Amino acid sequence: MRITKYTHSCVRLQHDGGATPVIDPGVWSEPEALAGADAVLVTR
């Protein structure tokens, strides 16, 4: 598993052969955080 922290509170989780969720992307996060993501979770 690979965990990548992006700007502010954005985190991308990559698992070989599994889904790639991105948690809390926002206006300050880099666009590549969402590239190829299978799911996006936005919290309040």
Number of separate domains in the chain: 1
pTM above 0.85, yes or no: yes
Q: State the residue range of the domain holding 34.
A: 2-41
pLDDT at 33: 96
pLDDT tens string 3-31: 999 998 999 999 888 899 999 998 889 99
B/e letters for 10-43, b = 16+ CB within 10 Å, e = fewer, are bbbbbeeeeeeebbbbeeebeeebeeebeeeeee
Q: Which two tokens stand for residue 3?
A: 């965990």
